[in-house]
């Protein structure tokens, strides 16, 4: 039972060469749960696994996180085995925003007869959800408007910050079991993202030592953050995770 986190991309919204800021939690070498669905990220996913995702958690609906949904719709809808079975875990307050961004286009197929959501199994989530018998936790982060952006925790294994300003109070609670912490960080902070000086000011050394930073502007910025002593994720990098410690159930396999 091995677990890993693969960074499909590590760039900010402008850093196309570094890929969409998204990742896959792998289990026993197979993709288990994908975090977000950016355009370049979906291409990286297909290049890596030879297919498109079966299960996606959506952190928020900025386009570098949801631009791949039209392609995922086509892939799922026109495949009888996949239609209506690609699981989308979406925080309740994000559902209306996702619908406006990607679900509400008039006539998703030119010939009609289909709804965007027909391709998917939408699972609306609150503070936690179950995926293949494993419980994951969801927590609000600080990215633009309240309750529009969320992080994800697989207890004991990984906490994914999503796009956010520093959130030490959240990580004290949702990364308190020695998780690897994948954290938004660029060289320069701004009102919606963490900068390296913010990171160094807001988190203690022990917490920073568990972090891998992603969502930066350029390879050069990544090198500069590395030179400051931080672990900076590379596009495509896959890191081993500890065995999850949270609740499990054998009730059903999703
Ligand atoms: Zn964002």
What tokens does 96 get?
């209306």
Q: Separation of 134 CA from ligand 1 center, angstroms? A: 27
8 A C-beta contact, residue 155 and residue 179: yes
Tell me how far apart the alpha carbons of residues 237 and 215 are, in angstroms, rounded to a whole number. 14
Q: Separation of 229 CA from ligand 1 center, angstroms? A: 25
- Per-residue pLDDT tens, the chain, 254 aa: give them: 799 999 999 998 888 889 889 999 999 999 999 999 999 999 999 999 999 999 999 999 999 999 999 999 999 999 999 999 999 999 999 999 999 999 998 889 989 999 999 999 999 999 999 999 999 999 999 999 999 999 999 999 999 999 999 999 999 999 999 999 999 999 999 999 999 999 999 999 999 999 999 999 999 999 999 999 999 999 999 999 999 999 999 765 55
Tell me how far apart the alpha carbons of residues 197 and 194 are, in angstroms, rounded to a whole number. 8
Q: Separation of 217 CA from ligand 1 center, angstroms? A: 14
Q: Separation of 12 CA from ligand 1 center, angstroms? A: 9
8 A C-beta contact, residue 216 and residue 14: no
Query: CA 77, 3, 17: angle at the middle one, nearest 5?
Result: 60
Options 3.60.15.10, 3.40.50.11710, 1.10.10.10, 3.40.50.1820; CATH for 3-241 is: 3.60.15.10
Tell me how far apart the alpha carbons of residues 201 and 192 are, in angstroms, rounded to a whole number. 17
Q: Separation of 205 CA from ligand 1 center, angstroms? A: 26
Q: Separation of 155 CA from ligand 1 center, angstroms? A: 24
The structural domains of the chain, with segments of one domain joined by +, span 3-241
Q: Separation of 104 CA from ligand 1 center, angstroms? A: 20
Query: What pTM did the predictor assign?
Result: 0.96
> What is the pLDDT, as a whole number, of residue 174?
98
> What is the pLDDT, as a whole number, of residue 250?
79
> What is the pLDDT, as a whole number, of residue 253?
55
Q: Separation of 63 CA from ligand 1 center, angstroms? A: 8
Q: Separation of 60 CA from ligand 1 center, angstroms? A: 7
What tokens does 133 get?
């018998």
């Amino acid at each position: 039972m091995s677990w890993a986190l693969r960074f499909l991309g590590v760039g900010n919204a402008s850093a196309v060469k570094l890929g969409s800021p998204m990742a896959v939690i792998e289990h026993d070498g197979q993709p288990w749960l994908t975090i977000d669905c950016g355009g370049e990220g979906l291409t990286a996913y297909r290049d890596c696994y030879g297919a498109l995702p079966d299960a996606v958690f959506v952190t928020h609906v900025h386009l570098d996180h949801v631009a791949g949904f039209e392609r995922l719709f086509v892939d799922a809808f026109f495949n009888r085995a996949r239609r209506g079975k690609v699981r989308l875990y979406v925080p309740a307050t994000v559902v209306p925003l996702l619908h406006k961004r990607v679900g509400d286009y008039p006539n998703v197929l030119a010939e009609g007869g289909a709804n965007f959501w027909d391709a998917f199994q939408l699972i609306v989530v609150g503070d936690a959800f179950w995926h293949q018998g494993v419980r994951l936790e969801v927590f609000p982060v600080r990215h633009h408007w309240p309750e529009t952006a969320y992080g994800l925790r697989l207890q004991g294994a990984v906490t994914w910050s999503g796009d956010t300003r520093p959130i030490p109070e959240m990580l004290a609670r949702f990364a308190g079991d020695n998780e690897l912490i994948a954290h938004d960080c660029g060289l320069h902070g701004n009102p919606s993202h963490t900068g390296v000086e913010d990171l160094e000011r807001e988190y203690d050394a022990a917490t920073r030592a568990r972090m891998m930073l992603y969502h930066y502007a350029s390879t050069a910025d990544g090198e500069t953050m590395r030179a400051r002593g931080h672990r900076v994720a590379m596009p495509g990098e896959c890191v081993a995770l500890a065995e999850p410690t949270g609740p499990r159930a054998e009730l059903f396999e999703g």
